[in-house]
Amino acid sequence: MNTETTNIIEVTNVTKRFPATEGGEFTVLDKVNLTLGAGEIVAILGRSGSGKSTLLRCMAGLIAPTAGTVAYRGKPLTGANPGVGMVFQSFGLMPWLTVQDNVELGLRARGVAPHQRADQALKAIDVIGLDGFETAFPRELSGGMRQRVGFARALVTEPDALLMDEPFSALDVLTAENLRREVINLWSRDDFPTRTICIVTHNIEEAVQMADRVVVLGSNPGHIRYEATIDMARPRDRHSEQFGSYVDRLYQALTGKEPAPVARAATPAGSPLPNASVGGMAGLIELVGRYADGRDLADLASDLSFEVDDLLPLVDGAVMLGLMEVDDGHAVLTDDGKRWNTGDIDANKHLFGHLAEQRAPLVRTICTGLDKSDDGSLRVDFFRDLLQRSFPAQDLRAQLDTAIDWGRYGELFDMDSTGEELIRTKELAANEGPAQGRMAHAE
């Protein structure tokens, strides 16, 4: 580990905007300032949609900021950052290439001679613990081994900065923990060439375990809302009081109230739906509703033997719909939350449908589109095409799945028998005779 004090990467007033499907632009990052100094590991912590990955890609020079600058060793970037290696959540290996060939890809792109490429690749493979698997193909490796290849590929160029985007989230718990320890062990070696590491994560304990400094991003748009220095020697004891204190402090920063959203946040792109099912939110509401004064979410997660991060999508969904309020990690039910927790099935469907149409932008967009169509129906592909510029494919599917789940439960709309069209519920009711009364109740 290098202990010099040079800033390797400097982010200055970086703002990033993308085109919005509704026209105009939406802001993902707003005036972010951040430095990655030599000799430190920095964790960027934030919820989904806070711009963590966008910020990392700006630092890598993979995307250019709309405003502001990113500099590598004092020189503003005009393209890809020459001093970084990247590790992604998805392993991104070429399935037709061997381990060694995959590791050599970056060197090949830089025009390194074959003999030198092989020497450097074999060294990186040995360092990351994959010696003996040089000729294996990705299909022959476990998930943990494939991610090791990803680390070797990033480290083979001996980068100044190692940028990691949720590198352990696709792995099982034990494999992820083992890899975290190995990365820290590599970092502690005097001969480790990388000067700084930046890890994007949504896992609070992972951030405290690995980082010297944790930066918490707020959302709508992404901005730095809190920063903490982790003053603990390594290896760090997860069960110590000091570790727990850092986790609690970061949890409060992560779940605290956000500033009032700007008008853009009322759009599907500006305020995406959290990955929360109706049943999951109902369970959360029921558990919080058992306590007259509310419940600390960290304590609730501990009761359930989950990480606090696992509750956040459900919390975000309940807050979006106005069923719950959260202040410094303490959750209380709103009046609507209490009504939903104690109501019968029909009353709950009616209340949920009303709240979803009013407060969930994508659900509202679908309802509006169906109302404006000639027969109260539209193909799902219509909404998919509207969203494709704002969300990558996997996120787009999740957004539509969540919106349809919420809309069907609230009896706002349903899917036809082919699964290709959405139909406004009142149109179904008009065509179904005896069911009309029940369906009309939701409206």
pLDDT value, residue 261: 39
Q: 176-196: per-residue pLDDT in tens?
A: 888 888 888 888 888 788 899
Q: What is the mean pLDDT of the chain?
A: 84
Residue reference for tokens 């390594």: 234
Residues 220 and 261: their CA atoms lie apart, in Å, by 6
DSSP string, 41-92: EEEEEE-TTSSHHHHHHHHHTSS--SEEEEEETTEE-SSS-TTEEEE-SS--
pLDDT value, residue 412: 93
Which of the four pLDDT bands, split at 50, 70 and 90, describes residue 425? confident
Range 390-403 average pLDDT: 85
Q: Which of 197-201, 338-342, 433-437 has the lowest mean pLDDT?
A: 433-437
Q: 140-160: per-residue pLDDT in tens?
A: 888 788 888 888 888 888 889
pLDDT value, residue 193: 83
Tell whether the model's pLDDT for residue 257 goes beyond 50. Answer: yes
pLDDT value, residue 266: 55
Range 130-137 average pLDDT: 85
Under 8 Å between Cβ of 138 and 146: yes
127: tokens are 């360092």
Range 249-258 average pLDDT: 76
User: For the chain, what percent of residues have pLDDT higher than 90?
Assistant: 35
Q: 295-352: per-residue pLDDT in tens?
A: 888 888 888 877 777 888 899 899 999 999 988 778 899 999 999 999 888 899 999 9
Under 8 Å between Cβ of 402 and 275: yes
Q: 354-373: per-residue pLDDT in tens?
A: 999 989 999 999 999 999 88
pLDDT value, residue 263: 35
Q: Which of 7-11, 117-121, 418-422, 435-439 has the lowest mean pLDDT?
A: 435-439
Q: 45-76: per-residue pLDDT in tens?
A: 988 778 898 999 999 999 999 999 999 999 99
- The domain limits of the chain are 7-83+159-254, 266-443
Range 31-54 average pLDDT: 90
φ, ψ of residue 33 to 5 degrees: the values are -120, 130
9: tokens are 């990467």
Range 165-186 average pLDDT: 81
Residue reference for tokens 């200055």: 12
CA geometry: angle 380, 383, 387, nearest 5 deg: 135
CA geometry: angle 19, 378, 366, nearest 5 deg: 55
pLDDT value, residue 34: 94
Q: 76-131: per-residue pLDDT in tens?
A: 998 899 899 888 877 677 888 888 888 888 778 777 888 888 888 888 888 777 88
State pTM to two decimals.
0.62
Domain boundaries 7-83+159-254, CATH class = alpha beta
Tell whether the model's pLDDT for residue 404 goes beyond 60. Answer: yes
Tell whether the model's pLDDT for residue 260 goes beyond 80. Answer: no
Q: 20-43: string of b/e by CB count within 10 Å (b at 16+)?
A: bbeeeebbbbbebebebbbebbbb
Tell whether the model's pLDDT for residue 428 goes beyond 70. Answer: no
